[in-house]
Amino acid sequence: MSQMPARGNWIFIATFAGLFALAVVVGLLIGKKRSISGIATSAQADSRGPFLYQGMCASCHGSEGRGDGVSAQNLKSAPRDFSLRPWKNPIDLTSIKKVIVEGIPGTVMPGIKNALPESDLDSLAKHVLKLASQGISPTEKVLSEAEKLAMEAGFVLLQGNPAPLLQLEDEQGGKLKLSDYKDKLVMLHFWGVQCPHCLKELQALFELEKSFQGKSFVILHVCTDEDDVKVAQQLASKYAPGIKVVVETSGIGLARYEVQTLPAFWLVGKEGRTIARSTGARDWGSKHCRIFIESLITN
């Protein structure tokens, strides 16, 4: 016949059972809290990208990344529609983050530098990538042939405003202005003696101009960082014998063309209105560049 536990044992057993039950309840509550906290943190991370995008990017690129933000109509060139192709850079997080941080020199796209911590930068880039992957933009279906040609050649079409004034001078002291070429397609090539990329491109641009000899096309090689045209001409001739360069003498012409990065290019039509602009080095012997220029000469 078994004996009942002593009173002290009953107290110990009851206390132990109570503490065990309390530990289980507390553990469940902590686990639930952590689970809810994890869900909240995940939800916050998912919403952070769209939140940052709306505050920093949507005014130009639009809420859905179509390039139709409220500020877009006031810009000299249209903001990118993220769903349009091709992109100049790979469509991945690394490239998108680089553009967000550094911007695109010579365009209306600024860089934020160190304005965001790495976690926010990741969230913002992921949202842009999501917008870029949401399918082909309806606007791509209505792109004109000229817009397609310009994009392939690396140019952005402009609204066709009257070209800003330039006061140019050549090595012989001759005074030139854009109106002297009113019957030609003019490419304004802004370059500098301190710009290695500019110097490397001089020969290719000279060859491009010669290939259109006899047609209504001329390139004006405007030196931006040397006031003495003879010095600029002497250096340019070393890289492209036979090329003719000019300097801008008014002191404000370069500002009128918003030249911030070299080399920079503007195309001015026969009627004296801006057609397109571009920045950066490129393959001037490519078929895309030639086809685009040919299309503008014949129009």
**Tell me, what CATH number does 292's domain have?**
3.40.30.10
Average pLDDT, whole number, for the chain?
82
- Domain tally for the chain? 2
Contacts of 207 (CB under 8 A, 6+ apart): 284, 285
Q: What is the pLDDT of residue 254?
A: 87
For the beta sheet containing 168-169, the strands, ordered from the edge strand earlier in sequence to the opposite edge, are 156-157, 274-279, 264-268, 185-191, 217-223, 245-248, 168-169, 175-176
pLDDT beyond 50 at 19: no
Mean pLDDT of 95-123: 88
The pLDDT tens digits for 81-107 are 887 777 777 888 998 999 999 988 767
Q: What is the pLDDT of residue 193?
A: 96
Contacts of 117 (CB under 8 A, 6+ apart): none
The DSSP 8-state label assigned to residue 189 in this structure reads: E
Q: What is the pLDDT of residue 16?
A: 41
pTM value? 0.58
Q: Quote the percentage of the chain above a pLDDT of 90.
A: 44
Distance CA 227, CA 198 (A): 17
20 or 282, which is more confident: 282
108 plus 198 within the same structural domain: no
**Confidence label for 5 from pLDDT (cuts 50, 70 and 90):** very low
Q: Please report, in angstroms and rounded to a whole number, the separation of the first and last CA atoms in the chain.
A: 115
Cα dist. 258→105, 153, 226, 253, 262 in Å? 11, 21, 18, 9, 11
pLDDT beyond 90 at 167: yes
Q: What is the pLDDT of residue 136?
A: 53
Distance CA 40, CA 64 (A): 25
- Gyration radius of the chain over CA positions: 31
Which domain covers residue 163, as residue numbers? 156-298
19 plus 61 within the same structural domain: yes
Label each residue of 205-264 as H, E or C. Answer: HHHHHHHCCCCCEEEEEEECCCCCHHHHHHHHHHHCCCCCEEEECCCCHHHHCCCCCCCE
Residue 151 lies in a domain: no
The pLDDT tens digits for 34-82 are 444 444 445 555 788 898 998 899 888 888 888 878 777 666 667 888 8
Q: What is the pLDDT of residue 15?
A: 46
255 plus 172 within the same structural domain: yes
Distance CA 109, CA 122 (A): 19
Q: Which of 75-79, 146-150, 158-162, 244-248 has the lowest mean pLDDT?
A: 75-79
Question: CATH number of the domain that 85 lies in?
Answer: 1.10.760.10
Asked whether 213 and 293 are in contact (CB, 8 A), the reply is no
Chain centroid to CA 261: 13
Cα dist. 95→57, 100, 104, 124, 289 in Å? 16, 9, 12, 13, 25
**Confidence label for 135 from pLDDT (cuts 50, 70 and 90):** low
9 or 286, which is more confident: 286
87 plus 193 within the same structural domain: no
Distance CA 230, CA 228 (A): 5
Q: What is the pLDDT of residue 143?
A: 58
Residue 74 lies in a domain: yes
For 89, the 3-state DSSP assignment is coil
Distance CA 38, CA 44 (A): 10
The DSSP 8-state label assigned to residue 5 in this structure reads: P
Question: Taking CA 152 as the corner, what is the angle to CA 58 and CA 128, rounded to the nearest 5 degrees?
Answer: 25
Write down the H helix ranges in the chain.
7-56, 58-61, 93-102, 118-132, 145-153, 196-211, 229-239, 253-256, 287-298
Chosen domain end from 113, 142, 171: 142
235 plus 104 within the same structural domain: no
Q: Quote the percentage of the chain above a pLDDT of 70.
A: 79
Residue 118 lies in a domain: yes
